[in-house]
Amino acid sequence: MLRRHAVSAVLAGSLLAVPVAALPASAAAPAVEIVKVYYDSPGADRRSNSSLNAEYVTIKNITRRTIDLEGWTIRDKAAYRYTFGPIVLKPGKTLTLRTGQGDDGTSSVFWNRRAYVWNNDTDTASLRNASGKLIDSCSYNSTRYDYTNCR
Ligand SMILES: [Ca+2]
Ligand SMILES: [Ca+2]
């Protein structure tokens, strides 16, 4: 009996090791993706708060686990950076970062800027985790469209 237990323990151990060994491959898909950048808000860019908030970037949690975004950042190609506060993103949910002012909620957070961030012609949005590791990025290069679906 003792011996059988020992064998099953070894088997259990090796079974448990499988998902761990598979991690590097699955890590290729980012846990949180940038799904859309709406870089040229509709109409003339007059810096009204509603126009600023119609400029946004949307991210999505593509995993089955809740992800804590506190300390994560979104940056453009220049020096603009937004740092997420204490907010979690549930599995499959999206979160939209709007450029202007507003009250943060579960589906939208606000950069609270009075000027635009995303260039109307070309730019790159980068998403980094709290350790500064690049999680995903989305580039666009077109004035023909006002937004890009990153995937
Ligand atoms: Ca813009
Ligand atoms: Ca515009």
Across the chain, which has 151 residues, the per-10-residue mean pLDDT values are 50 47 53 97 97 98 96 96 97 98 97 98 98 97 95 76
Overall fold of domain 30-149? Immunoglobulin-like (2.60.40)
Predicted pLDDT of residue 17: 47
- Euclidean distance between the first and final Cα of the chain, in Å? 55
Predicted pLDDT of residue 70: 97
Query: Which ligand is in closest contact with the Cα of 125?
Result: 1
Predicted pLDDT of residue 30: 79
CA of 134 to the centre of ligand 1 (A): 23
User: Which of 120, 102, 108 lies closest to 48, judged by CA?
Assistant: 102
CA of 31 to the centre of ligand 1 (A): 26
Predicted pLDDT of residue 9: 47
CA of 119 to the centre of ligand 1 (A): 5
Predicted pLDDT of residue 127: 98
- Please check whether residue 73 is in contact with residue 128, taking contact to mean a CB–CB distance below 8 angstroms: yes
pTM above 0.85, yes or no: no
Parse the chain into domains and list their residue ranges.
Answer: 30-149
